[in-house]
Structure 1
Amino acid sequence: MPTTAATTLLTAATHSSYLGGASVDLTATAHSVAQAATVALIVTGVAAFYLLACAVWPFGKCRRCKGVGKFKSPFGNAFRHCGRCDGSGLRVRFGRKVISYYRRTHSAASNSTSKGDKR
């Protein structure tokens, strides 16, 4: 059973006068930090899964021709090749471009001649 002195101390500790009467709820702050950490973990996991999928399947369907590679003529059976994918129907995914950029940069850094001058 709390006494009035303990209740007064608890109220003074949570509602301090130097904040201009505004109360600070530390549990809400802790929950928002935990929620932000959870969202960051989920976003990191999704990005890692996407990069793994791009490493396994580097190509997607061309967005212009929808993966067919050609366009049909409105008259007859003539067709022309898609100009964006050159008739392949494929495009390189964004995640694969990121992986290739990282590999190229890492390879250039490890093969640098200025780093290992041994005369």
Structure 2
Amino acid sequence: MSNHPATAISAAATHGSELAATVQTAGQVATVALIVTIAVGFYLFTCLIWPFGKCRRCKGAGKFKSPFGRAYRHCPRCQGSGLRVRLGRHVINHIRAVHGAGDNTTSKGKR
């Protein structure tokens, strides 16, 4: 007997395993995309509720102690508040500004 039919079967088996690997990889990509989407949505939701975080320079204290003595000065980054606007809140504010700018510009004169 010849080896030609066995080669065809092994080639088909190899092609099927590549397809199974592709389907498995596509499922993994979809799962990771879903997890990332949920995480980003949760982060934006928390930024909607809690828009401020601690200032990174003064760690939320709003002031710095002088290296010598007992004097304090206000943090220049947060102007002494100890707070900063979170990145997600900047994104939400930008989306709201773009949406608000596009609402009434063309429809005002056409009523």
Fold shared by both chains (TM-score > 0.5): yes
How far, CA to CA, are the matches of 1:13 and 1:75 in structure 2?
78
Structure 2 gap ranges (5+): none
Q: Which residue of 2 aligns with 1:64?
A: 57
How far, CA to CA, are the matches of 1:28 and 1:118 in structure 2?
57
- Structure ranking higher in helix proportion: 2
TM-score norm. by structure 2 comes to: 0.85
1:24-103 alignment, distance < 5 Å? 24=15, 25-103=18-96
TM-score norm. by structure 1 comes to: 0.80
Identity of paired residues, percent? 57
Structure 1 gap ranges (5+): 1-6, 16-22
How far, CA to CA, are the matches of 1:58 and 1:12 in structure 2?
60
User: What's the RMSD between the two structures over aligned residues?
Assistant: 2.1
How far, CA to CA, are the matches of 1:12 and 1:82 in structure 2?
71
Q: Secondary structure at the match of 1:71?
A: strand
Q: Once superposed, which parts of structure 1, at least 4 consecutive aligned residues long, lie more than 2 Å away?
A: 114-119
Aligned length: 105
Bigger Rg over Cα: 1
Quick one: higher RCO (CA 8 Å, sep 6+), 1 or 2?
A: 2
Residue 98 of structure 2: which of 74, 99, 105 is its match? Answer: 105
How far, CA to CA, are the matches of 1:49 and 1:65 in structure 2?
27
